[in-house]
Structure 1
Amino acid sequence: MSFAELSVPIVRSRRTPAPLVVQQHVDEAVQLRRVRSVLVRAPHVGLARLARLDERIAAHLDGIGIAGDLGAALCLQVLERAGVAEFFTVTVRSIMDRDTERLSRLLAAAAVLPEGRAGLLSAFGWVEAAALRGLVQPLLESGNPWWREVGLVACDQHGVDPGASLVDAMTDSDESLRRRALRIAGRRGRVDLRPYCVAAMDDESASCAFEAARAALLAGDRGASLARLESMAFANGVHSTEALLLLLKVVTSETGLAALSRFSKDRAQARILARGAGELGDPHGIAWLIDQMNDPMLARLAGESFSLITGLDLSLLDLECDPPDWIEFGPNDDPNDHDVAIDEDDSLPWPDPSKISSWWQVNSYRFPAGQRFFMGSPPGEAHCIRVLREGSQRQRRSAALFLSLMNPEAPLFPTEAPAWRQQRWLDGISV
């Protein structure tokens, strides 16, 4: 299927654009989109900062659009690298220009490039819904599984239920499409699809089975999905950590502590244990977390979990300390060092275990063991919405998940969406 019949005339600017200025718009759009990939999952970035970044990206994308044909030509040149940010930039401009021939080529190229897929899909979520009129339905009706996947994601990112197209995709023979459909079924609050999700937990694909279990859980199932997630959590598979952390948000404190105890004898599993303690939210684990703050390899993660339970901002309350001067994390300036992995705990504060221990001795009475705490309070609806408005991205993602688990019919709030759309949806929420 082609988009050619959907083409509309494009109005070009009569002013002659300056190539250097347009090139700068292209370069900045790509670079800022790369930054966004990091900040949207960052532990220190809130909605306000994300909004400022998104405004800058939007301004550069507009600059490319105003340049007309020159902007389109310079934009296409960035695809020589074919990364997430490059595909995002070109796809956004192609949608806004209604260049259906270019969109068809981008869809074909992205089909075989994982980073291209991610960039193209995020572009469909970036533009306003009006810009997608006439583009999404042909995707949903296509015989190409990848095109159908794009159509489903576009609907999900704009808060639109794909209808029968979603049900059909959940049992499709194409694994990628099936996995995506199961994920969206959970995200959209489709409780009517819970039986389909439960059945799909036996999918031969481990990724599809995990998405089915998560979708069933979000749709309100508390039986088969929990059993499936538990088996995945301890199977040492590709989704083991995800399954465990999701399980810990639902089970009782007693069950959660028993699950975490299975990792306590293996020091190699200490990071999973530290993350799990924060996800479970039982203050029973805080004394252990404070002890881990003396270990440079665990200190920042333990501090984050401590904050996730208590709601404390370690930097704001001067409960942090300087990092050790003898240890390096992540990439450095040595050209002979081939370790280019990003530090998992980058941007997290270094907790001061002595100060935090003193604070805990005075305030522990406010956090009785055996209860679940999230950001200083039990995870009620009003509290989670407040975290969505004021928290960091990691905290906001956790709040969104709690809200969906509390109300299975409510769609999962998209903390990765353009900030202006998130703010519009938040403004429409009343508690």
Structure 2
Amino acid sequence: MMMVAGSYGQQSDGTVEHRIVKDIVRQHAELAAFLWAQRDTLAAEDPPEGNVVDGVGRRLEANLDGLRIAGVAAWPFIEAAYEDFPEKGELFLFTWLAIEQGSDNKIRQAVELGRASDDDARGLVGALAWHKAETISPLVRRWISAQDAFLRYLAVAACREHGVDPKALLTNLMRDPDVRVRANSLHLAGVLQRLDLVHEVAGALDADDGSVRLWAAWTLNELDRGDLARAELRKVAATNGPNAPTALRALIKAGPQDDVRAFMGGLLKSPDTASLAVRGAGMLGDRSILPWLVQQMRIPALAAAAGGALLETFPEARGIDGLFTLDPTTLGPDFEDHFGDFAMKVPVAENVRMWSNSVLQK
């Protein structure tokens, strides 16, 4: 339920005064920043739980409505929130209200706050994504050809989030001197299925920057040219870095399946990449792997990856109590040694095994 952030009253001279309840506006601001950050984190889980993400989004929108009612009177609370905790949720909120109210000055402030952030201005991009494309289109049109590389990055990221095609501009953006602009433009070309840019994308496989090569390979795969992308995707997956799951999923999509399974078998042999191979098993869509996944759940270093594979292959497992724990130390000394006191959602192998008996009999 949304709290009431303000009300209207008539003064003695007949004018309308907008009154706000400061504590409630403060709560709206704090909750909105927290909820967007929570939603962003939940959406990045592997795999994400769509119903939970949507539920948090509805609560977020209710709090944003409260801030809409408060109007410009909300700014002291939003600015104080960012000063106290300058993280992605607070940056989202600052940017969202600046765009909502069409304040050029506040938008410029938000851009500078995003420029100083160390996470590719995730909150700022998130605010651009939350607003409708037509609302932010004047900003994007102005930024996409700006001299400032950061503004060009924001414009391309906004186009990617909304699936908007910058048409002829995209070719130049894929050649941009800024690495972040190039990588995001290549990603956008794949999202948009720009088949006319295949040769341009293929040329980016020779780039010095790894993120540019990754998104060039990913886009080639989306454009049904996985034959050109396979070597780079395998290289990224074999490093088991942050982009490895993205590369492996692209490889699985590209096929052929025999080659993919052989590659994953190689990953499984190394302790450095075994967890990626286990997680990748859930991307295959093969429900017969469930007994094998249960075995991997008994190995602390592979348990979390096996849990992710389980949820992707068997999404119905999300609603079953007892299949997962947030306290791995309860699973025995090996798990306690591996996880320490770090809370982590891991499957309870024995419970999954018992549940799997009924699943496999169907």
CA contact (8 A) 2:159 2:188 kept: no
1:64 and 2:71 aligned:
no
Match of 1:53 in 2: 56
Q: Aligned in 2, Cα 1:90/1:330: closer, same or farther, shift over 3 Å? A: farther
Return the letter of the residue paired with 2:96.
V
Q: Aligned in 2, Cα 1:101/1:36: closer, same or farther, shift over 3 Å? A: same
Distance in 2 (alpha carbons) for counterparts of 1:52 and 1:321: 21
Residue of 141, 153, 157 corresponding to 1:137: 141
Residue of 27, 34, 38 corresponding to 2:37: 34
1:118 and 2:117 aligned:
no
Q: Aligned in 2, Cα 1:25/1:251: closer, same or farther, shift over 3 Å? A: same
Cα displacement string for residues 209-262 of structure 1 (whole angstroms, at most 9, x for unaligned residues): 111100111122121112322233335666445323321232123112211221
Q: Unmatched 5+ residue regions in structure 1? A: 1-12, 333-340, 364-431
CA contact (8 A) 1:256 1:280 kept: no
CA contact (8 A) 1:274 1:301 kept: yes
Match of 1:22 in 2: 25
1:270 and 2:266 aligned:
no
User: How big is the shift at 1:127?
Assistant: 1.1
User: How big is the shift at 1:105?
Assistant: 1.9
Decide which structure has greater helix share.
2
SS at the partner of 2:254? coil
Q: Which residues in structure 2 correspond to 1:76-155 (within 5 Å)?
A: 76-80=79-83, 81-115=85-119, 117-155=121-159
Distance in 1 (alpha carbons) for counterparts of 2:49 and 2:242: 29
Match of 2:354 in 1: 355
Return the letter of the residue paired with 1:210.
L
Distance in 1 (alpha carbons) for counterparts of 2:80 and 2:45: 30
SS at the partner of 1:15? strand
SS at the partner of 1:201? helix
Q: Aligned in 2, Cα 1:105/1:351: closer, same or farther, shift over 3 Å? A: farther
Identity value in percent: 25
Question: What is the TM-score with the length of structure 1 in the denominator?
Answer: 0.70
User: How big is the shift at 1:149?
Assistant: 1.5
Cα displacement string for residues 276-305 of structure 1 (whole angstroms, at most 9, x for unaligned residues): 222234467554323223334434532442
Return the letter of the residue paired with 1:37.
D
Question: What is the TM-score with the length of structure 2 in the denominator?
Answer: 0.83
User: How big is the shift at 1:321?
Assistant: 7.3
Return the letter of the residue paired with 2:73.
L
SS at the partner of 1:78? helix
CA contact (8 A) 1:121 1:150 kept: yes
SS at the partner of 1:28? helix
| Count of aligned pairs between the two proteins | 340
Match of 2:168 in 1: 164
Q: Which residues in structure 2 correspond to 1:375-394 (within 5 Å)?
A: none
Return the letter of the residue paired with 2:316.
D
Cα displacement string for residues 92-151 of structure 1 (whole angstroms, at most 9, x for unaligned residues): 000011001111122123113124711001101101234224222111121111111211
SS at the partner of 1:114? coil
SS at the partner of 1:16? strand
Distance in 1 (alpha carbons) for counterparts of 2:136 and 2:280: 40
1:181 and 2:185 aligned:
yes
Distance in 2 (alpha carbons) for counterparts of 1:42 and 1:74: 30
Q: Unmatched 5+ residue regions in structure 2? A: 1-15
Higher RCO (Cα < 8 Å, 6 or more apart): 1
Match of 1:215 in 2: 219
Match of 2:210 in 1: 206
Distance in 2 (alpha carbons) for counterparts of 1:179 and 1:261: 30
Distance in 1 (alpha carbons) for counterparts of 2:307 and 2:227: 33
Q: Aligned in 2, Cα 1:331/1:37: closer, same or farther, shift over 3 Å? A: farther
Greater Cα shift, 57-66 or 143-152 = 57-66
Q: Which residues in structure 2 correspond to 1:310-329 (within 5 Å)?
A: 311=314, 313-314=316-317, 316=319, 320=323, 324-326=330-332, 327-328=335-336
Over aligned residues, Cα RMSD in angstroms? 2.9
Return the letter of the residue paired with 2:142.
P
SS at the partner of 2:299? coil
Match of 2:10 in 1: none
Distance in 1 (alpha carbons) for counterparts of 2:61 and 2:68: 10
Cα displacement string for residues 352-393 of structure 1 (whole angstroms, at most 9, x for unaligned residues): 354256457646xxxxxxxxxxxxxxxxxxxxxxxxxxxxxx
Q: Aligned in 2, Cα 1:358/1:47: closer, same or farther, shift over 3 Å? A: closer
Distance in 1 (alpha carbons) for counterparts of 2:118 and 2:204: 24
Q: Which residues in structure 2 correspond to 1:185-196 (within 5 Å)?
A: 185-196=189-200
